[in-house]
Amino acid sequence: MEFERNAAPYRPSLERIADFREIYTPHDEARLTAQSARCMDCGIPFCQSQTLPDNRISKAGCPIHNLIPEWNDLVYRDQWRDALDRLHATNNFPEFTGRVCPAPCEGSCVLGITDPPVTIKNIEMAIVDKGFENGWIQPNPPSRRTNKIVAIVGSGPAGLAAADQLNRQGHSVTVYERADRIGGLLMYGIPNMKLDKEHIIQRRLALMEEEGVVFKPDSDIGDGMNGTVDIRNLVEESDVLLLTTGATTPNDLNLPGRELDGIHFAMEYLTANTKSLLDSNLEDGNYIDVSGERVLVIGGGDTGTDCLGTAMRHGCAELVNFELFPSHPEERRPTNPWPEYPLIFRVDYGHEEATAKFGEDPRIFGISTTEFMDNGNGRVGGVKTLDITME
């Protein structure tokens, strides 16, 4: 009733597209204290749970049941250390989720029925960052070992969370990753400006190593042939084998002209860019450089936005983003009631940056690609499309 929603701003668009540093600004404790005061400590905190009273799973709330009203109140009372303990009670890696989670909790905030919701995501990120800055987060290896051996294949969010939990129980955990760096989607699927690799991710990995988790990158699990690690040996040597691999097969568009040069999958583009950035600050040239190019991104989700942001930082000449579905409305539709995740029109960081540079939102809604066109040299030079906007 006393404070309006005031989310933490990003760095200025035209400033941040000149580098791959994180887009976030320093935490403003006065703002965060005021924003945490907006939390109503509801009798039923829909923000923190996806479970409805009849035990059905809803399309709402925090998937990992963060104790949001509790740490909001502790921040309001300037008890940041206690807030960190409550945050870590349910969340292994709040420094990751506080940066990249789409925040379904905010869509289910009870305050959001009548007013803009609490800035939960900002507060979460600030709590854990303050914990690291003040040295409150230290290695905490288990006091005893169980002599149980756990092998985990895949070092993305699921693999790392499983490793962290099982190591805390005293089991001996080894994580295998086929890429040259640990982190999976966190490392190569999300660009550096959203989630810093050398500081944010490596800081947590170093902590886990000090607690006893063993990481083995460059370990492709297979049948033991062609340099792969034989999975049969892992089964024999381990008490438990967890497969926590991601879905790495992309959604291809089987359209005429698909074979033309210049057409790439998003993960191919994002992975190569981040690897080159970490290996050489893009000086080795081992990435898909779109500087001076006209770029079309097909797909309007988070990954599409990450491609927009990456292309902007390469210095593309033009940028267009195709969205298959029509634009969402400014307010919820009757078929999308609270506390479900609100399907409303949003402007993400990539859209904001493209608008700042090119003068307009890059998105075209309700459009389907039907054919890729040859520029006469075996390279894509245009696309044929179909307007599928429904009146």
Q: Which fold has domain 149-243?
A: Rossmann fold (3.40.50)
pLDDT (average), residues 81-94: 97
What backbone phi and psi angles, to 5 degrees, belong to 266? -60, -45
The confidence band for 54, taking pLDDT boundaries of 50, 70 and 90, is low
C-alpha–C-alpha distance, residues 72 and 66, integer Å? 11
Beta bridge partners of 364: 322
Contact 91, 83 (CB under 8 A): no
Owner of token pair 């988070």? 302
- Three-state DSSP class for residue 245: coil
Residue among 307, 185, 191, 158 nearest 248 (CA): 185
pLDDT (average), residues 111-137: 97
Contacts for 211 with CB less than 8 Å, ≥ 6 apart: 139, 140, 141, 142, 167, 168
C-alpha–C-alpha distance, residues 292 and 318, integer Å? 8
pLDDT at 247: 84
Radius of gyration of the chain (CA): 23
Contacts for 43 with CB less than 8 Å, ≥ 6 apart: none
C-alpha–C-alpha distance, residues 70 and 66, integer Å? 9
Q: What is the CATH number of domain 13-133?
A: 1.10.1060.10
C-alpha–C-alpha distance, residues 60 and 106, integer Å? 9
Is residue 38 predicted with pLDDT exceeding 60? yes
Q: How far is CA 51 from CA 55, 117, 203, 306, 309, in A?
A: 5, 20, 33, 31, 35
What tokens does 173 get? 């955990």
pLDDT at 52: 57
pLDDT at 57: 57
pLDDT at 90: 96
Write the class of the CATH domain 266-387.
alpha beta
Beta bridge partners of 341: none
C-alpha–C-alpha distance, residues 129 and 136, integer Å? 10
pLDDT (average), residues 160-172: 98
Parse the chain into domains and list their residue ranges.
Answer: 13-133, 149-243, 266-387
